[in-house]
């Protein structure tokens, strides 16, 4: 052995108790490696170690044995020959008697016993010898925690892997185990002991075997752990969870029916304890054990079990309030858990032995008396709380019993149903032959009976549905079915009556809840199993519908009825109930559609729309009918408002359209594949527009236009490319049939000259009809997919350019969408009217507008043709109209710029420069005002307005828009476009600020700056925080004058607070701390917006966390100002001020004297 | 200082649910929201009892109904109920209430703090002490007392 010296060194290092644990494990690793690589054999090792294994010094001996054992543990997958295993297991078995060096022996046995047969394992006889030695020599309970644990592991291993070896040990083994596990307290050990008991029980199933004689003792040991109760503090690291432990114990409890005589009484006793967790545990154990112990053994406990279960359910039920409203979630959780566990247990025992248990329930005096007492109260309000609780409990018990099986359902119905019906004052009739006379209904129903009756109905519906799933058909001749059937008619009538005989509101709600629920249950019995005839089903639907259409003033009833109808509808749709679907469609869907007809004005429109959209979502078939109906109404109303200028119908049309775009279209979008609906809607709208040649409604009905546009946009956006092309073509034709049909537009490929006389009159110059057409056409264009082919782009662009210059924003947005989505290059082989982006841009930028001002000069609004050099050099402003025109042009440019910016086109730069030059055009003002002295004021104002609109153009460019250019409308969006634009624009704006000398220009630049920065991503701003912060603060002071700028102020303040709270911004903030604080202090008294004041104070709180030396000088000033904010008119501001004052006061001394 | 607790085992009541004020949809920017009972109560409810880790609300030392506010005349009166009659902490609790309101209300407000009639053995003395500004000022010069007050107030600024 070349390595023998190494080996000896390693062994010595391991055995030496003075060496560190890391050294020991290193030498263990080294020896393992030697053995693994066959450099060393086990025999050689043992021979080498002989001295350590047999030495009289017990410490060294223990280490030696442990080394050998650990090595064996690591070689679990290395084949060893039988002879070595034989001698090793013999050695370790013998060593179990050596209590001074025990650990090694146990680990060794464990390692050897765990070996698999393919690498050489211990024989049965050897395993038995280990077990015998174990039982003879080990005093497990006197060992330490770790030793106990491995002892139990050894035992577990023997029981698991060598059952044959130990069965023969019989009594001896069971006794030994009892002794070993008695009094164990460590959770980890307990996990193993519980498992040991479980396996043991499996080994000795014989009711006369060794386990039987020890069952009492064994259970005595186990029983004291129940219920598992952890006293470990929460923070302590415990590997074993309470739930795992509890589960292991439950398995041990249920491991053998032999435990039954001991376990069930114990569990029942604990069930009556007052500790909620103990109750839950015992219910859980009982559920599990009763199944494992079997029906026969459980039978003798049935009576006691029933009485304790009854008590539990009676006493743990939640407050009765759940009867009236929806079940309250999260309330009385513990209570509810007890009830659910109890119900589960009851379900199990009833299923196990239904005859016996059901008789107990049925014959129970307490239930009978509860039912009697409850049915004796006439009115809901008369029932005392205690009785309501009982009522609830009985409801649950009956419901569970009826749900359990057909037989139990029959029993329950036999015993209780008739008496409930009696209490309700109903008499049965055979079959469907009802007397046609009106149902007599007098007085008020007994609520208790009603409630229980509904519970029973719900239970049997559940039962039937459960059987349907397992494809077992329930015979309709079961006893309960017949009973139910005979009462069906009168029950329905009664329930319907309950809904309407209202007196007191609170009381009524309880009845309504039950009534609607009952009707819903009756209507949703599966059709294949039919105690409910068609006529009754239709009757129910009609009743509910009449509530919907007539009783809309009773909100609660109305809501519940609608919900019930929705449930019934989805039930009918989901289960393909062939005979019920037509009834539902005929009675509910068509009725509801007819409600929409314009001449029906009984019901508020908002409720109609709610009903219609809810019912529609129950099924595609119903939805299609409803959409048709709704569309019809929409168009009828639209034409009414177009032709007669009916303002009222315009209002309702707006509501209808909103319902269409907010509820129905998204639903179709969600289920997918139904683009006909939006497609038809869009086409029909255009038909309508085409038909109405005479508009008497003005654009003053802004809302109507807006709602129509939104609906059209959404509808078009949901269509596929092909449908979109059709829609565009149609829309374009309609558009051409109006004013825009002049040849100029269609042929206009080069520079089109627009007569400014037309433009100067602004919007009024177009007939109302054309405005509608252009607006809707713009909506279509906005919503198109990029791939959709747009016919005659050039003409369309011209139309939009014209309308845009008269101040029509949708036209500008449409242009923005066009430039965003047009393909860069177009295949010229395609249609002749195709047009690439470049061409369109050329058209846009080369359009010159002739204005008819005094001098008749050609004004170029958008600059000249070669695209790269768009400038406003030629621009001079002389009158109001021109400045207005100019502003419209800027807005248009901004939207187009946005379209280009989002797709990442470089032309956006030119547009930006044009806008910027408008913004800087103030130098002209001076020159101009010199020339035209008298008109100076108005001119100056015009220029200001233009500059302002140029500054605000940056808001359009940077902000997200709901109306267009977003994902919903298939916009091409380049990632990080905002960030990119921000970083290109900032240097330009900053240098312009530095260059500008006039205060007006400067303020306009600040405005633009504010728009850009408030929509830029924070991370981009943070990297430049140092440079930006001073300007940002100037913005704050500059813009806080104007009341109209409050939204800008707020958004800049949000940017500032973003910088303040991010740690990357800290450096810049610390540098500017003083100026930031004084600006914020100024904003604390900002009168125009509460949010600004609140945010400013929050920013100040954040500032108080800065380095002490930096902010201390400001402390007095801050405290003085903030104390004024304590008297702020708004509560939220006052609250923040209190926090802020405290934060600043406590940075120095905590005394009150600031 | 007193050794041992004055009321070793106080009854702890449930906290009332925080009423969230529902803001109307169209907020008038310039409308004044007057200081009311609930607002004052919100300032005070989280003050910690000097003896126990419970809030004054949980011990029912103060309740919403025991606060009277007259926003027009800038006046607040808080009536608190010590947990036991001989509670020597009553003055400390009162001081906490006063300090908290001093720090939370606009300067023009006058604050009256008093023990609920019949709930304390030396009611008159406590009331007098709490409403004497010289004595309050003197108490706040005492670093021990200020520390104690600040500790009690800490949870209200969370």
Concatenated DSSP letters for A335-369? Answer: HHHHHHHHHHHHHHHHHHTHHHHHHHHHH-HHHHH
Would residue B80 count as lying in a domain? Answer: yes
For A811-957, list the strands marked E by DSSP.
Answer: 848-850, 858-859
Cis, bond preceding A129 (omega within 30 deg of 0): no
Cα separation of A323 and A312, whole Å?
A: 20
Kind of pairing, strands A858-859 and A753-755?
A: unpaired
B29/chain A closest Cα distance in angstroms: 6
- Residue A239 confidence (pLDDT): 64
Q: Which residues of A251-286 are buried (b: 16+ CB within 10 A; e: fewer)?
A: ebbbbbbbbbebbbebbbebbeeeeebbbbbbbbbb
Cα nearest neighbour of A1092 on chain B = B29
Residue of A1087, A1129, A1131 lying closest to B39 (CB–CB): A1131
What is the pLDDT at residue A858? Answer: 28
Q: Among A1131, A1142, A1151, whose Cβ lies nearest the Cβ of B157?
A: A1142
Report, in this order, helix, strand and coil percent for chain A, each rounded to 5: 70, 0, 25
Q: Which residues contact A872 (CB under 8 A, 6 or more apart)?
A: A860, A861, A863, A914, A917, A918, A921
Interface with A, mutate which of B103, B133, B146, B148 (most A CBs under 10 A): B103
Average per-residue pLDDT in chain A?
77
Report how far apart, in Å, the C-alpha atoms of A340 and of each of A284, A292, B116, B131 are: 10, 20, 47, 57
Whole-angstrom distance, CA of residue A690 vs CA of residue A42:
99
Sign, CA torsion A141/A142/A145/A151: negative
- Is the pLDDT score of A226 beyond 90? no
Residue A551 neighbours by CB under 8 Å, 6+ apart: A500, A557, A558, A561
Confidence of residue A825 (pLDDT cuts 50, 70, 90): low
Contact A1150 B21 (CB under 8 A): no
Nearest CA in chain A to B109: A1127
Contact across the interface for A1126 and B106, Cβ inside 8 Å? yes
Determine the 3-state secondary structure of B32 from DSSP: coil
pLDDT value of position A501: 62
**Average pLDDT for A62-89:** 85
B79 within some domain? yes
Query: Which of A58-72, A738-752, A918-932 has the highest mean predicted lDDT (pLDDT)?
Result: A58-72
Nearest chain A CA: its distance from B118 CA (Å): 32
Residues of chain A found within 8 Å of residue B147, distances taken between Cβ atoms: 1150
* A-B Cβ pairs (cutoff 8 Å, strict): 48
- Higher pLDDT among residues A702 and B93, named by residue: B93
CB A44 within 8 A of CB A82: no
Percentage of chain A lying above the pLDDT 90 cut: 4
Question: Is A1139 in Cβ contact with B33 (below 8 Å)?
Answer: no
Q: Which chain B residue lies closest to A1089 (C-alpha atoms)?
A: B29
Residue A1077 and residue A1111 in contact, taking contact as beta carbons nearer than 8 Å:
yes
Q: What is the pLDDT of residues B132-144, one digit of tens each?
A: 989 998 998 888 8
Residue A661's pLDDT band, with cuts at 50, 70 and 90, is confident
Chain B residue numbers touching A1141 (CB-CB < 8 A):
103
Beta carbons within 10 angstroms of residue A796's beta carbon: 26
Residue B16 lies in a domain: no
| Token duo for residue A130 | 């280990």
Residues of chain B with C-beta less than 8 angstroms from the C-beta of A1135: 42
> Could you tell me which chain B residue has the CA closest to the CA of A1131?
B33
Residue A233: per-residue pLDDT? 55
Distance, in Å, from the CA atom of A402 to the CA atom of A351, rounded to the nearest integer, reads: 11
Residue B8 included in any domain: no
Domain extent for B97: 37-157
Mutation target to probe the B interface, by most B beta carbons within 10 A, among A1142, A1144, A1146, A1151 is A1142
* Separation between Cα atoms, residue A498 and residue A512, nearest integer Å: 7
Using CA of residue A477, residue A478, residue A479, residue A484, what is the dihedral sign? negative
Mean pLDDT throughout A882-889?
78
d(CA A540, CA A492): 7
- The strands making up B110-115's β-sheet, listed across from edge to edge, are B67-70, B75-80, B110-115
* Chain A residues with beta carbon closer than 8 angstroms to that of B99: 1152
Q: Could you write out the DSSP letters of every residue in A37-89?
A: TTSS-HHHHHHHHHHHHH-S-HHHHHHHHHHHHHHHHHTTTS---HHHHHHHH
Torsional class of A807: left (φ above 0), alpha (ψ -120 to 50), beta (otherwise): left
**Angstroms from B60 CA to nearest CA on chain A:** 23
Instruction: Assess whether pLDDT exceeds 80 at residue A1125.
Output: yes
Of residues A311 and A926, which shows the higher confidence score?
A: A311
Which two three-digit tokens encode residue A1108? 């002490």
Mean pLDDT, rounded, for A544-564: 80
Measured CA angle at A1087 (ends A1083, A1089), to 5 deg: 85
Q: Is A1126's CB within 8 Å of B32's CB?
A: no
Query: Would the pLDDT of A873 be above 60?
Result: no
Q: Binning pLDDT at 50, 70 and 90, where does residue A505 land? A: low
Residues forming beta bridges with residue A1141, ordered by sequence position:
none
Closest partner residue to B157 among A1126, A1130, A1139, by Cβ? A1139
Asked whether residue A122 carries a pLDDT value surpassing 90, the answer given is no
pLDDT classification of A1095: cutoffs 50, 70, 90:
very high
Please state, in angstroms and as integers, the Cα–Cα distance from residue A548 to each residue in A562, A589, A599, A909, A977, following that order. 7, 12, 17, 59, 51
pLDDT of A352: 80
> Is B99 within 8 Å of B140 (Cβ atoms)?
yes
Q: Do A1152 and B140 touch (CB under 8 A)?
A: yes
A755 phi, psi to nearest 5 deg:
-75, 120
> B148 lies in a domain?
yes
**pLDDT for res A528:** 61
- Distance between B5 CA and the closest CA of chain A, angstroms: 26
Helix (H, G, I), strand (E, B) or coil at A154: helix
pLDDT for the residue numbered A555: 76
Q: Is the pLDDT of residue A325 over 60?
A: no
> Where is average pLDDT lowest: A7-11, A383-387, B104-108?
A383-387
Q: Would you say A247 and A204 are in contact if contact means Cβ atoms under 8 Å apart?
A: no
The interface predicted TM-score of the complex, written ipTM, equals 0.92
Q: Which residue of chain A comes nearest to B32, CA vs CA?
A: A1129
User: Which residue of chain B is at minimal alpha-carbon distance from A1123?
Assistant: B106
Q: Which residues pair with A858 in a beta bridge?
A: A850
Q: How far apart are CA A196 and CA A191, in angstroms?
A: 9
Between chains, do B103 and A1141 touch, taking CB under 8 Å as contact?
yes
- Answer whether residue A527 shows pLDDT above 80: no
Q: Residue A562 and residue A615: Cα distance in Å, rounded? A: 8
Q: Parallel, antiparallel, or unpaired for β B67-70 and B75-80?
A: antiparallel
**What's A415's DSSP letter?**
I
Q: Are the C-beta atoms of residues A780 and A805 closer than 8 Å to each other?
A: no
The pLDDT value recorded for residue A761 is: 43
- List, for residues A76-102, the tens digit of each pLDDT value: 888 888 888 888 888 888 888 888 888
Q: Tell me the H-state helices in A660-760.
A: 665-671, 676-691, 702-717, 721-736, 743-747, 756-760
Identify the CATH number of the domain in which residue B46 sits. 3.30.300.130
pLDDT of residue B23: 61
Q: Tell me phi and psi for residue B48, to 5 degrees.
A: -85, 145
Q: Is residue B49, in this structure, part of any structural domain at all?
A: yes
Nearest CA in chain A to B30: A1088
What's the domain count of chain B?
Answer: 1
Share of chain B above pLDDT 90, in %: 23
pLDDT value of position A621: 79
* pLDDT at residue A333 is higher than 80: no
Distance from CA of B103 to the nearest CA of A (A): 7
Query: What are the angstrom distances between the C-alpha of A226 and each of A240, A307, A310, A1053?
Result: 16, 21, 22, 61
Is the pLDDT confidence value at A300 over 60?
yes
Which of B33, B42, B150 shows the shortest C-beta gap to A1150?
Answer: B150
Report the predicted TM-score, pTM, of the whole model to 2 decimal places.
0.70
Handedness of CA A1065, A1068, A1073, A1076 (dihedral sign): negative
Using CB atoms, which residue from A1087, A1089, A1150 is nearest to B146?
Answer: A1150
Q: A1152–B21: do the CB atoms touch at under 8 Å?
A: no
> Taking CB atoms and an 8 Å limit, are A1131 and B33 in contact across chains?
yes
Structure token pair of residue A773: 């057409």
Determine how many CB atoms are found less than 10 A away from the CB of residue A477: 8
Q: Please choose, from the candidates A82, A137, A139, A85, the residue with its C-alpha nearest in 3D space to the C-alpha of residue A109.
A: A85
Q: Which residues of B touch A (CB under 8 A)?
A: 21, 27, 29-33, 35, 39, 42-43, 99, 102-108, 140, 146-147, 150, 157
Q: Within a domain: residue B10?
A: no
Secondary structure (3-state) at A893 = helix
For tokens 């080994």, what's the residue? Answer: A203
- Report whether pLDDT(B14) > 80: no
Angle at CA of residue A835, ends A829 and A837, nearest 5°: 125
CA gap A1057, A1048 in Å, rounded = 14
- What is the chain A residue with the closest CA to B144? A1151
Query: Are residues B24 and B77 in contact, defined by beta-carbon separation less than 8 angstroms?
Result: no
Distance from CA of A1051 to the nearest CA of B (A): 17
Distance from CA of B23 to the nearest CA of A (A): 11
> Which of A1084, A1090, A1128, A1136 should be substituted to probe chain B, the one whose Cβ sees the most B Cβ atoms within 10 Å?
A1090
In this prediction, residue A594 carries a pLDDT of 79
- Helix (H/G/I), strand (E/B), else coil: B76: strand
Helix (H) or strand (E) run with residue A647 in it? helix A647-659
Tell me how far the alpha carbon of residue A412 is from its chain's centroid. 41
Q: What residues of A are in the B interface, CB distance below 8 Å?
A: 1087-1090, 1123-1124, 1126-1127, 1129-1131, 1134-1135, 1138-1139, 1141-1143, 1145, 1150-1152
Give the single-character DSSP code of A632.
Answer: H
DSSP, res A858: E
Question: Is A233 strand, coil or helix?
Answer: coil
Measure in Å the smallest separation between the Cα of B102 and chain A Cα atoms: 9
In a domain, B153, yes or no: yes
- Residue A852 confidence (pLDDT): 33
CB contact under 8 A, A1138 and B29: no
Chain B: closest CA distance from residue A148 (Å): 42
- Supply the DSSP symbol for A1147: T
- Among chain A residues, the shortest Cα distance to B147 is held by A1150
Please indicate whether, in this complex, the C-beta atoms of B33 and A1129 are within 8 angstroms of each other. yes
Residues of B in contact with A1123 (CB under 8 A): 106-107
Label residue A531 by pLDDT band (50, 70, 90): low
Pair A1097, A1140: CB distance under 8 Å: yes
Which contacts (CB < 8 Å, 24+ apart) does range A1130-1135 have? A1130/A1090, A1130/A1093, A1130/A1094, A1130/B32, A1130/B33, A1131/B21, A1131/B33, A1131/B35, A1131/B39, A1132/A1090, A1132/A1094, A1133/A1090, A1133/A1093, A1133/A1094, A1133/A1097, A1134/B35, A1134/B39, A1134/B104, A1135/B42
Q: What percent of chain A has pLDDT over 70?
A: 82
CB distance A1129–B157 less than 8 Å? Answer: no
pLDDT in tens, A699-722: 556 778 888 888 888 888 888 888
């Amino acid at each position: 052995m070349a390595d023998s010296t190494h080996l000896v060194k390693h062994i010595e290092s391991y055995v030496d108790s003075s060496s560190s644990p890391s050294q020991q494990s290193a030498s263990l690793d080294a020896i393992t490696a030697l053995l693994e690589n066959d450099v060393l054999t086990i025999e050689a090792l043992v021979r080498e170690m002989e001295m350590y294994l047999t030495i009289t010094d017990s410490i060294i001996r223990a280490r030696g044995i442990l080394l050998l054992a650990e090595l064996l543990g690591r070689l679990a997958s290395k084949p060893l020959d039988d002879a070595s295993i034989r001698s090793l297991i013999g050695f370790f078995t013998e060593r179990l008697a050596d209590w001074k060096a025990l650990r090694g022996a146990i680990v060794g046995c464990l390692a050897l016993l765990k070996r698999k047969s393919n690498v050489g394992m211990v024989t049965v006889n050897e395993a038995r010898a280990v077990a015998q030695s174990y039982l003879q020599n080990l005093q497990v309970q006197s060992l330490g925690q770790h030793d106990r644990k491995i002892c139990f592991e050894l035992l577990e291993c023997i029981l698991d892997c060598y059952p044959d070896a130990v069965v023969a040990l019989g009594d001896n083994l069971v006794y030994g185990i009892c002794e070993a596990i008695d009094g164990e307290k460590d959770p980890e050990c307990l996990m193993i002991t519980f498992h040991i008991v479980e396996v043991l029980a499996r080994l000795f199933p014989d009711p006369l075997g060794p386990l039987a004689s020890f069952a009492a003792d064994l259970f005595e040991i186990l029983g004291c752990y129940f219920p598992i109760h952890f006293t470990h503090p929460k923070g302590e690291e415990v590997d074993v969870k309470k739930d795992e432990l509890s589960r292991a114990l439950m398995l041990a409890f249920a491991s053998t029916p032999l435990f039954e005589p001991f376990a069930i009484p114990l569990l029942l006793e604990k069930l009556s304890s007052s500790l909620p967790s103990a109750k839950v545990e015992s219910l859980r154990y009982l559920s599990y054990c009763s199944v494992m112990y079997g029906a026969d053994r459980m039978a003798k406990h049935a009576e006691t079990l029933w009485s304790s279960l009854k008590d539990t359910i009676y006493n743990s039920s939640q407050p009765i309030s759940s009867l009236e409203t929806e079940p309250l979630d999260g309330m009385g959780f513990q209570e509810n858990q007890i009830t659910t566990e109890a119900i589960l247990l009851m379900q199990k025992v009833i299923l196990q032995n239904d005859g016996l248990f059901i008789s107990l329930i049925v014959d129970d005096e307490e239930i009978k008396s509860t039912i009697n007492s409850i049915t004796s109260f006439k009115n809901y309000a008369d029932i005392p709380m205690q009785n309501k609780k009982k009522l609830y409990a009985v409801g649950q018990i009956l419901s569970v019993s009826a749900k359990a099986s057909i037989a139990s359902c029959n029993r329950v119905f036999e015993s209780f149903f008739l008496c409930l019906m009696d209490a309700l004052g109903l008499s049965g009739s055979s079959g469907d032959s009802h007397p046609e006379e009106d149902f007599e209904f007098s007085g008020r129903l007994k609520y208790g009976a009603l409630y229980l009756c509904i519970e029973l109905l719900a239970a049997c519906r559940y039962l039937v549905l459960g059987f349907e799933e397992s494809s077992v058909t329930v015979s309709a001749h079961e006893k309960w079915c017949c009973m139910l059937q005979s009462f069906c008619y009168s029950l329905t009538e009664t329930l319907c009556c309950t809904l309407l005989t209202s007196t007191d509101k609170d009381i009524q709600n309880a009845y309504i809840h039950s009534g609607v629920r009952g009707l819903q249950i009756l209507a949703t019995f599966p059709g294949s199993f039919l105690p409910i005839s068609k006529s009754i089903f239709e009757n129910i639907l009609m009743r509910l519908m009449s509530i919907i259409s007539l009783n809309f003033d009773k909100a609660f009833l109305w809501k519940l009825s609608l919900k019930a109808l929705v449930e019934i509808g989805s039930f009918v749709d989901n289960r393909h109930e062939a005979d019920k679907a037509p009834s539902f469609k005929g009675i509910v869907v068509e009725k509801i559609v007819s409600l929409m007809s314009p001449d029906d004005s009984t019901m508020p429109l908002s409720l109609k729309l709610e009903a219609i959209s809810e019912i529609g979502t129950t099924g595609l078939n119903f939805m299609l009918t409803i959409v048709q109906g709704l569309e019809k109404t929409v168009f009828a109303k639209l034409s009414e408002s177009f032709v007669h200028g009916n303002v009222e119908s315009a209002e309702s049309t707006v509501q209808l359209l909103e319902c269409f775009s907010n509820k129905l279209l998204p639903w179709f979008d969600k289920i997918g594949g139904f683009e006909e609906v939006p497609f038809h809607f869009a086409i029909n709208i255009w038909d309508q527009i085409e038909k109405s040649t005479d508009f008497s409604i003005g654009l003053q009905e802004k809302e109507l236009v807006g709602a129509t546009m939104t609906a059209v946009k959404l509808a078009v956006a949901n269509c596929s490319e092909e449908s979109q092309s059709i829609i565009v073509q149609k829309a374009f034709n309609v558009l051409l049939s109006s004013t825009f049909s002049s040849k100029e537009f269609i042929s206009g490929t080069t520079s089109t000259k627009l007569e400014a006389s037309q433009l100067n009159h602004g919007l009024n110059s177009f007939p109302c009809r054309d405005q509608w057409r252009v607006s809707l056409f713009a909506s279509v264009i906005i919503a198109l997919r990029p791939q959709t082919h747009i016919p005659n782009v050039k003409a369309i662009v011209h139309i939009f350019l014209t309308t845009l210059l008269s101040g029509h924003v949708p036209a500008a947005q449409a242009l923005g969408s066009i430039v965003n989505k047009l393909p860069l290059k177009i295949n010229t082989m395609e249609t002749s009217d195709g047009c690439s982006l470049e061409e369109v841009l050329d058209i846009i930028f080369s359009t010159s507008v002739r204005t008819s001002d005094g001098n008749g000069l050609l004004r170029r609004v958008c600059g000249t043709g070669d695209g790269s050099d768009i400038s406003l050099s030629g621009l001079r402003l002389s009158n109001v109209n021109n400045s207005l025109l100019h502003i419209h042009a800027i807005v248009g440019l901004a939207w187009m710029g946005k379209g280009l910016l989002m797709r990442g086109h470089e032309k956006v730069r030119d547009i930006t420069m044009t806008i910027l030059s408008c913004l800087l055009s103030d130098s002209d003002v001076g020159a101009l005002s010199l020339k035209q002295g008298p008109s100076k004021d108005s001119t100056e104002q015009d220029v200001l307005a233009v500059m302002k609109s140029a500054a605000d153009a940056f808001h359009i460019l940077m902000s997200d828009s709901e109306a267009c250019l977003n994902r919903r409308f298939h916009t091409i969006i380049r990632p990080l476009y905002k960030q990119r634009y921000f970083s290109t624009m900032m240097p330009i704006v900053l240098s312009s600020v530095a260059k500008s000398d006039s205060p007006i220009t400067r303020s306009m630049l600040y405005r633009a700056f504010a728009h850009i920065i408030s929509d830029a991503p924070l991370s981009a701003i943070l990297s430049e925080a140092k440079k930006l912060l001073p300007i940002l603060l100037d913005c704050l002071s500059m813009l806080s004058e104007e009341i109209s700028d409050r939204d800008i102020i707020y958004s800049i303040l949000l940017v500032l607070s973003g910088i303040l709270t991010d740690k990357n911004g800290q450096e810049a903030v610390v540098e500017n701390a003083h100026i930031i604080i004084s600006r914020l202090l100024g904003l604390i008294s900002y009168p125009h917006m509460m949010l600004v004041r609140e945010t400013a104070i929050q920013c100040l709180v954040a500032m108080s966390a800065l380095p002490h030396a930096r902010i201390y000088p400001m402390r007095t000033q801050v405290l003085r100002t903030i104390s004024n904010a304590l008297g702020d008119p708004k509560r939220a501001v006052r609250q923040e001020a209190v926090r802020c004052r405290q934060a600043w006061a406590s940075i120095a001394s905590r005394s009150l004297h600031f | 200082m007193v050794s041992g607790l004055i009321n070793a085992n106080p009854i702890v009541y449930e906290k009332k649910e925080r009423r969230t004020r529902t803001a109307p949809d169209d907020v008038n920017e310039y409308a004044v929201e007057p200081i009311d009972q609930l607002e004052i109560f919100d300032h005070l409810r989280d003050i910690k009892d000097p003896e126990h880790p419970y809030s004054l609300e949980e011990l029912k030392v103060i309740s919403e109904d025991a606060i009277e506010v007259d926003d027009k005349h800038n006046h607040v009166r808080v009536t608190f109920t010590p947990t036991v009659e001989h509670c020597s902490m009553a003055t400390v609790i009162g001081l906490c209430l006063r300090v908290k309101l001093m720090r939370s209300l606009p300067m023009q407000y006058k604050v009256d703090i008093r023990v609920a009639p019949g709930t304390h053995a030396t009611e008159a003395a406590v009331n007098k002490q709490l409403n004497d500004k010289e004595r309050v000022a003197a108490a706040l010069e005492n670093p021990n007392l200020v520390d104690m007050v600040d500790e009690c107030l800490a949870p209200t600024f969370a």
